[in-house]
Amino acid sequence: MIKDIQLRVTLLEEKHPNILTRKSAKVLGISEAKISGIKVLRKSIDARKKQIIFNYKVAVYINEPVPETSAYHFDYRDVSKAKSIHIIGFGPAGMYAALRCVELGFRPIVLERGKNVQDRRRDLKAINQDHFVNEDSNYCFGEGGAGTYSDGKLYTRSLKRGDVRRIFENLVFHGATDQILVDAHPHIGTNKLPKVVQNVRETIINHGGEVHFDTKVTDFVIKDNTIKTLVLQNGEAMDVDKVILATGHSARDIYYLLYEKNIALEAKSFAMGVRVEHPQHIIDSIQYSCSGDRDDLLPAASYSLVEQVNGRGVYSFCMCPGGFIVPSATANGEVVLNGMSPSKRNNQFANSGIVVEINAHKDLYKYEHFGVFKALEYQKDLEQLAFNAGGRTQTAPAQRLTDFVEGKLSADLNPSSYQPGLKSAPLHSLLPKLIGGSLRNGFKIFGEKMKGYYTEEANVIGVESRTSSPVSIPRNERLEHPQISNLFPCGEGGGYAGGIVSAAMDGERCAEAACGIVD
Ligand code: FAD
C-alpha cells in the first residue's frame, strides 16, 4: 500500500536521519517496521516564524518495495529523413522547440549565432577580465542562450501556459538533478547547466536534427507574405518551410530587421532598475532569525519583495542567494547586470535585481518619436548611462544602499562579487527620476518589511535593464505572425515568456503549432 501524507519537521528534528519514517509511522498509526520506504514528493521551508519548519509531502510505502527512481522517458523519433523546421536561436525556447519537433517526427535545423557551451566560456572570461564583449558570444548569446550561464532558477508564474512538470522531467532526462521535481523553489546552478544543455544538443543530433553554432541569421526573404529563405551572415541562403524565431530579448538586430521589412512589432511595457548586493549572512539572519551563521541544513536564504510606490510597482527580480553579479551586455558601450549562482549557492553574497515597472504607453512620452522602439531606446540609454558612469568599461557604477537613498556619493564601496569591478557614482542623481525616485522610496519600505535589509553594508549597482523584452512580435491564434505565414515568433524575444521555464513551454507550443498541432 502507498499513502501520500504531509509532514511538518522542525530544524532540530530534520537532523535525525530517520525522522521521516518515524513521523510517518506516527501519523499513520503503524509501526516503523511496516514502512518499507519513503519517497519525498515535495519539500519546502517555512521560515516565516521563529521556529523554522520543513514541510514535506511524502509517499509512504507500506509492506511494499519503493520503486527505483523513475526513468523519465521521451519518445524521440528518428527524424533524419523527416520534413525540416528551422529554429533560430538555441536558448530555452529554441531547445525545447527542437526537442518537441523530434518527438513529433519533424527534423529541427537550429541556427545559433553564438558558440557551443565550452567555447563560450572564453568569451565570458574576456568580458570579466578584459572588458571586451563579443557581440555574438556572451552571457546572453550562445548554446543554451541566456539560460546557460544563469542562475537556473526554475520557478515560473506562467503555470497556465503549459506543463511545467514535463519541462522539469525533460531537464532531469537530460542530466539535471531530480531534486528539481521535489523542491518548492527548484534551482540547477550555473556549474550544472552547461552539461544539461550539451545533452539536449546531443539528443537532437543523435535523432537526425541539426544544430549549427556561429550561424547568425541576418536577413529573411519573404514572398507572398510567406517566409521563404533565411540569409546567414556568411551570405549563404537557406530555403525554409516553417521558421520558429526564438532569438531572445537581446537580439536587437532582429527587431530592427523585422521593422525594416515592415513586419509589425509592438512596444511593450517592462521593468528596469538596479541590482542590490548584500553579504549573504545579512539575508540569512533576517530570513532565518539567526544571529550567527545559518544552520548547515538551511540553504542560502532568498527573498521576494514587491511594493507599490506612488501607484508604480517596485519589486525584486531574479534574486540569487549565494551568487554572483555578472556582466550581461551584448554589445560594447553598455553595462547590463544580471545574476547567477552555482548549484550549492555557497558564495558569500546575495544579489537581486530591484526594478521599477515602466509603462511603455504612459511613461515614455519623451521617447514617443521612436515609435515601437521607444522602450528599447529608453533601455539603451540607461545601459549607456551605466557604461559612462562606470568609466566606459564593464566596470559598473555603484553606491552604498544607504547613500543611494540619502542622495550622497559613496566615499568607498562594499566588497562585491561583480568581477569587472565597481566605481563609485551618484546613481541617485544619474538614474531617470522615474526609476531612481521609485527605487529610493521602495528601498525604504523594503527596509521596514525586512529589518536589516536597509544597510550601508549593501551596494546598489547599475543597471538591471533586461528583465523582459521591450518589444513584442505579434502572433495569431495559430502562433504565426499575423502578416507572415510560417513565421512563429517564440519565447522571450517575442514577448511570450519571462524566464527559462516559460520560454521552454513557449518553445514547445510553437513547435506544436509549426508541426501542425494547434490546441
Ligand atoms: P534566449 O535565452 O535569449 O536565447 C536566444 C538565443 O538566440 C541566444 O542563444 C542567441 O544567441 C540566439 N540568437 C539571437 N539572434 C540570433 C540570430 N540573428 N541568429 C541566430 N541566433 C540568434 N531565468 C530564469 O528563469 N531563472 C534564472 O535563474 C535566470 N537567470 C538568468 C541569469 C542571467 C545571467 C541571464 C542573462 C538571464 C537569466 N534568466 C533566468 C533569464 C532566462 O535566461 C531567459 O528568460 C531565457 O533564456 C529566455 O529564453 P529564450 O530562449 O526565449 O531566449
Cell 519518445, located at residue: 75
Contact by Cβ (8 Å): 416, 422 = yes
pLDDT at 48: 87
Contacts for 103 with CB less than 8 Å, ≥ 6 apart: 74, 75, 76, 77
Alpha carbon distances (Å) from 93 to 28, 285, 336, 499: 44, 37, 22, 10
The C-alpha atoms of residue 517 and residue 118 are separated, in whole angstroms, by 35
Q: Return the C-alpha torsion angle 308, 309, 314, 315, nearest 10.
A: -50
Whether the bond into 463 is cis, omega within 30 of 0: yes
Q: How are beta strands 349-358 and 396-400 bridged, if at all? A: unpaired
Closest ligand 1 atom to the C-alpha of 92? 51
Query: How far apart are the CA of 26 and the centre of ligand 1, in A?
Result: 48
Alpha carbon distances (Å) from 238 to 220, 257, 493, 502: 9, 17, 22, 29
To test the pocket of ligand 1, the residue of 139, 141, 190, 240 to mutate (highest count of ligand atoms within 8 Å of its CB) is 141
The C-alpha atoms of residue 474 and residue 14 are separated, in whole angstroms, by 50
CA atoms lying within 13 Å on the CB side of residue 310: 11
pLDDT at 519: 60
Does the complex come out with an ipTM higher than 0.95? yes
pLDDT at 160: 62
pLDDT at 161: 64
Pick the residue whose CA is nearest to atom 14 on ligand 1. 247
320 bridge partner residues: 351
Closest ligand 1 atom to the C-alpha of 136? 11
Residues with CB under 6 A from ligand 1: 88-94, 111-114, 139-142, 145-147, 150-153, 216-217, 246-248, 250-251, 254, 318, 326, 328, 338-340, 491-493, 497, 499-501, 503
Q: What is the pLDDT of residues 337-388, one digit of tens each?
A: 999 999 999 999 999 999 999 999 999 999 999 999 999 999 999 999 999 9
pLDDT at 461: 98
- Taken in order of first residue, the domains within the chain and their CATH numbers are 2-62 (3.30.70.2700), 84-264+473-514 (3.50.50.60), 267-464 (no CATH)
Pick the residue whose CA is nearest to atom 53 on ligand 1. 248
pLDDT at 497: 95
To test the pocket of ligand 1, the residue of 90, 137, 150 to mutate (highest count of ligand atoms within 8 Å of its CB) is 150
3-class secondary structure, 152? coil
pLDDT at 50: 80
To test the pocket of ligand 1, the residue of 87, 96, 113 to mutate (highest count of ligand atoms within 8 Å of its CB) is 113
Buried residues in 203-229 as b, exposed as e (16+ CB within 10 A)? bbeebbbbbebbbbbeebebeeeebee
3-class secondary structure, 242? strand
pLDDT at 518: 66
pLDDT at 163: 87
To test the pocket of ligand 1, the residue of 140, 212, 417 to mutate (highest count of ligand atoms within 8 Å of its CB) is 140
The low-confidence residues of the chain, meaning pLDDT below 50, are: none
C-alpha cell of residue 100: 518537441
Closest ligand 1 atom to the C-alpha of 137? 11
